[in-house]
Amino acid sequence: MAGSKCTRLSGALIQQLLDGVDSVLFDCDGVIWRGDQAVPGAPEVVNLLKEHGKRVFFVTNNSSKTRRMYADKMARMGFKVTPDEIFGTAYCSAMYLKKVAGLKGKVYLVGSDALRQELEAVGIQATGVGPDHVSGSQCDWAHVPLDPEVKAVLVGFDEHFSYMKLNRAMQYLTDPGCLFVGTNTDTRLPLEGGKAVPGTGCLVRAVEIAAHRQAEKVGKPNHFMYDCVASQFGLDRTRCLMVGDRLDTDILLGSNCGLKTLLALTGVNKVADAEAHERSGCPDRKKMVPDYYVESIADLLPALQG
């Protein structure tokens, strides 16, 4: 039913949708918070969903915080959540390397200390965190000392990204047996007031180009993020709702996994973006059209309070 896509969610339709779902997966930035401010009404919506017996999860491509750091941030904003409900790419990358890739060895990590902590929490040692400034000549760079125990390169958000890190990652990846994983491919990290800074996707792509290899991507829209939640909590995909502000990550993840999808207009994309995908006639683009949209997830409040 083409006419049923991208429907504004309001009135009785809200209750009808909620009756059909047991679990709600929320993207974070642009949906439940913006920067350091909760989206008004978002904590109430999340807390009421839980009171109504729904399971609630948080699925974010940001790799710069541990589950514990996210739980603390959300508690300060008034969300009643526990760390095991939070699935960031730091945690999910650790799970991917351990459970899916079966890594036996260390990780050369282009990423944050939070990412290192999540790896360590599942028993994976990581090297590489922090500054790595260039020294010596080209010949020294090509012969940079490598740790023989490193069996994977993981690229996440890294404010200390440098030519030397790019080089070290490339040298490790000349071994075809070395795994290559990227946390996500977001090109920018949006901030308040329309500003942004470069995202992890720039770093992953730079390493891919140097290494002449493609990284496995853990983050949305890759289905692994959903699989990670589903395998731990036994989700029924037909009774899950994915809520996000981005069509190319959140909504596409939902489509890729057969979930119901809801676009919140508090972040990156607008209804016109979804309509353009719908009109394109392109099957790949149509996967980015949400089932529903709301101005803000606060629009769910009346149904939950009623």
Q: Which of 80, 143, 223, 237 binds its own copies (CB under 8 A)?
A: 143
- Judged by CB under 8 A, how many residues of this single chain contact its own copies? 37
Nearer to its own copies, 206 or 264 (CB): 206
> What does the alpha-carbon distance between residue 189 and residue 158 come to, in Å, rounded to a whole number?
12
- Residue 5 sits in the site that holds its own copies (CB under 8 A): no
In the bound complex, what is the minimum distance in angstroms from residue 111's beta carbon to its own copies? Answer: 12
Q: Which of residues 208-247 bind its own copies (CB under 8 A)?
A: 209-210, 212
Nearer to its own copies, 22 or 273 (CB): 273
Q: Which of 84, 120, 163, 280 binds its own copies (CB under 8 A)?
A: 163
> What does the alpha-carbon distance between residue 27 and residue 22 come to, in Å, rounded to a whole number?
17
Q: Which of 29, 158, 245, 248 binds its own copies (CB under 8 A)?
A: 158
Beta-carbon contacts of residue 46 (< 8 Å; ≥ 6 apart): 26, 32, 56, 79, 80, 81
Collapsing DSSP to helix, strand or coil, 70 comes out as helix
The secondary structure of 225-276 as a DSSP string is: HHHHHHHHHT--GGGEEEEES-IIIIIHHHHHHT-EEEEETTSS--HHHHHH
Q: Which of 7, 98, 198, 285 binds its own copies (CB under 8 A)?
A: 198
Q: Which of residues 113-132 bind its own copies (CB under 8 A)?
A: 131
**Residue 284 among the catalytic residues:** no
In the bound complex, what is the minimum distance in angstroms from residue 24's beta carbon to its own copies? Answer: 28
- Residue 276 sits in the site that holds its own copies (CB under 8 A): no
Segment contacting its own copies by CB under 8 A, of 41-49, 85-93, 152-160, 265-273: 152-160
Nearer to its own copies, 75 or 197 (CB): 197
Instruction: Choose, from 19, 27, 245, 284, the residue flagged as catalytic.
Output: 27
Contact 94, 70 (CB under 8 A): no
> What does the alpha-carbon distance between residue 234 and residue 120 come to, in Å, rounded to a whole number?
26
Contact 144, 174 (CB under 8 A): no
Q: Which of 13, 75, 197, 282 binds its own copies (CB under 8 A)?
A: 197
Structure tokens that stand for 167 in this block: 């080089």
**Residue 27 among the catalytic residues:** yes
In the bound complex, what is the minimum distance in angstroms from residue 193's beta carbon to its own copies? Answer: 8
CB atoms within 10 A of CB 50: 16
Nearer to its own copies, 162 or 256 (CB): 162
Q: Which long-range contacts (CB under 8 A, 24 or more apart) does 211-216 make?
A: 211/169, 211/170, 211/173, 211/174, 211/180, 213/173, 213/180, 214/180, 215/155, 215/180, 215/181, 215/182, 216/96, 216/101, 216/179, 216/180, 216/181, 216/182
Nearer to its own copies, 220 or 260 (CB): 220
- Residue 290 sits in the site that holds its own copies (CB under 8 A): no
Nearer to its own copies, 150 or 304 (CB): 150
Nearer to its own copies, 158 or 291 (CB): 158
> What does the alpha-carbon distance between residue 258 and residue 131 come to, in Å, rounded to a whole number?
41
Instruction: Choose, from 19, 22, 29, 299, the residue flagged as catalytic.
Output: 29
Structure tokens that stand for 109 in this block: 């990590």
> What does the alpha-carbon distance between residue 119 and residue 107 come to, in Å, rounded to a whole number?
9
Amino acid at 77: M
The catalytic site residues sit at 27, 29
| Interface ranges with its own copies (CB under 8 A) | 131, 133-134, 138-139, 141-143, 158-164, 166-167, 170, 187-189, 191-192, 195-199, 201-203, 205-207, 209-210, 212
